[in-house]
Amino acid sequence: MSRSLDGFKTSTFLVLIGGYLILNYPFMQLRIPPVGFGVPLGELLLILILLTTDVPRVLARMNGVVLLLPFLIWWGWGSIRLVFDATSTGFWAFRDSTQLVESLFLIGGFALAAEPRAVTRLTHWLRPIMVITCLYGLSFVYADAITAASPTIPGASQQPIPIFGAYATTAVMLLWTAFYCMTLPTNQRPAIRMRYELVAAFLVAFTLLVIQARTTYLQLLSIAALLWLVRPRTLGRLALALPVLFFLLLVISAFDLRISGRLTSEVSLDFFVDHILAIFGVGADGRSGVAEAASGVSLRLRWWTRLYEQLTADPVVLITGLGFGVPLTDFRDVLGTVTREPHNSVISVTARLGLIGGIAWIWMQVELFRAGFRAYRDCRRNGREEDARLVLLIIAFAVLILASCFGEDTMEKPYNAIPYYAFWGFALRVAYRLRADATRGSFDYPAQQITGFSHPRSL
């Protein structure tokens, strides 16, 4: 019974991960009951995992590979704050505590990965997820038509939500797949290696040309820094994206092609210059999309300044935060809906939970990366190349997600937070197994323990 339950939880988890990474926001709306304010599927699975897991034992094992103190502070203080705030703001307190709840998937991922085949199954699932997401992402140029033709599901307020046409995770998945292609083993035939390097370069160029998100530039810098730390020889593969990008721009200009991107249908070198300047709030005449993006910078700066003034006005508030259930901005759209998050996850965490929560959250991320890099190094040292590759992919995913946190409310969205923390749970389990094997004096995994990325033809 226990084995079948573990298999069910793992299978459900893999389906949920695929849905979040591919369909993102619409998939997030699936809940029980399916109408009204039901419980989302992700939270239902989390409840099932926690109820069927010896949580103290899991935490004790996690503490063997990562310092658990900041996590306990984060969960403890966040829970106290949530219970207190829910008495006055009700539903909105739970809505604003999304990341606090989803961070428990760190425990969930670690527990799921204890099932003998869970890590192997995850690696096998990541391949088709990457392929499907990339193919789906290439349809971004037809986003309006796809959204119009898509079937819908009811949202929490019964508003119709198209199932297809949401591309919130597309940029991350395209860049993550590009990273996967760039970090293939170097012992492959040159023709195969070049094929995957070109795929990676095209995915990066497509993300820049069509997705047109300013966070992409920071994500690319972050990925370059990661490659420089762990695979410096592969930096040239990332640089290959530049000539591919310029070639595509040349073709677009020569044939006067109209590329329908997120901000403009007139992609050119000037667009990229204007887009980069928009990061600093510099607008561009005649390019409404870029000008709108530039104007958003001053708006966000005003939100962040306002929060700083609110926090520093009272030492107690600075330490304990403004709490859950209160919107962190005063901005309302044309329908009168207030924007609850200031488009910066680090500021959101600090604003809601004060210095206690903000410091604990940052400390958590530091500890996760320390454990991840240590596990990657130990896997390489002991010849576990496939384990090392999986851990490196998880680190790369985390880098991409965190890089977007400084300009978006990334971690407040379950389709980002659940994979983020669950993947880290799997990485910590790999680290735990390494330490357990070292204690036993054995480094022999089962022969088929992790084989999902063993051959580049699988992508």
Domain ranges of the chain: 172-267
Distances in Å between the alpha carbon of 288 and those of 110, 265, 300, 456?
A: 46, 11, 18, 42
Predicted local distance difference test score (pLDDT) of residue 455? 38
Q: How far is it between the farthest Cα atoms of the chain?
A: 67
What value does the mean pLDDT of the chain take?
85
Those residues whose C-beta lies under 8 Å from the C-beta of residue 89, and which sit 6 or more positions away, are: 323, 324, 325, 326
Most confident of 143-147, 237-241, 437-441: 143-147
- 12: its two tokens: 């459900």
Q: Work out the average pLDDT over 389-406.
A: 95
With tokens 């990325």, the residue in question is: 453
Predicted local distance difference test score (pLDDT) of residue 144? 87
Residue 455 phi/psi, 5-degree rounding, is: -135, 125
Amino acid at 58: V
Distances in Å between the alpha carbon of 315 and those of 320, 321, 356?
A: 9, 10, 12
Digit-coded pLDDT (tens) for 358-383: 999 999 999 999 999 999 999 988 88
Taking CA 13 as the corner, what is the angle to CA 56 and CA 425, rounded to the nearest 5 degrees? Answer: 45
Predicted local distance difference test score (pLDDT) of residue 291? 54
**Residue 328 CA neighbour count, 13 Å, CB half:** 33
Three-state DSSP at 377 gives helix
DSSP assignment letter at 162: E
Q: Is the four-CA dihedral 62, 63, 67, 73 of positive or negative sign?
A: positive
> Could you give the percent of the chain with pLDDT greater than 70?
84
Predicted local distance difference test score (pLDDT) of residue 457? 32
Query: What region, left, alpha or beta, does residue 383 occupy, with left being phi > 0 and alpha being psi -120 to 50 degrees?
Result: left
Digit-coded pLDDT (tens) for 153-203: 887 777 889 999 999 999 999 999 999 999 887 666 778 888 888 999 999
Distances in Å between the alpha carbon of 48 and those of 90, 268, 320, 352, 401?
A: 24, 51, 31, 28, 26
**What is the rounded CA–CA span in Å between residue 205 and residue 218?**
15
Digit-coded pLDDT (tens) for 103-128: 999 999 999 999 878 988 998 899 99
Q: Work out the average pLDDT over 81-98.
A: 93
- Which runs of consecutive H residues, i.e. helices, occur in 260-335? 269-278, 288-312, 315-320
Predicted local distance difference test score (pLDDT) of residue 219? 94
Among 235, 246, 211, 241, which Cα is nearest to 408's?
Answer: 211
* pLDDT class of 324 with cuts at 50, 70, 90: very high
Task: Label the pairing between strands 152-154 and 39-40.
Answer: unpaired
Q: What's the distance, CA 15 to chain centroid?
A: 17
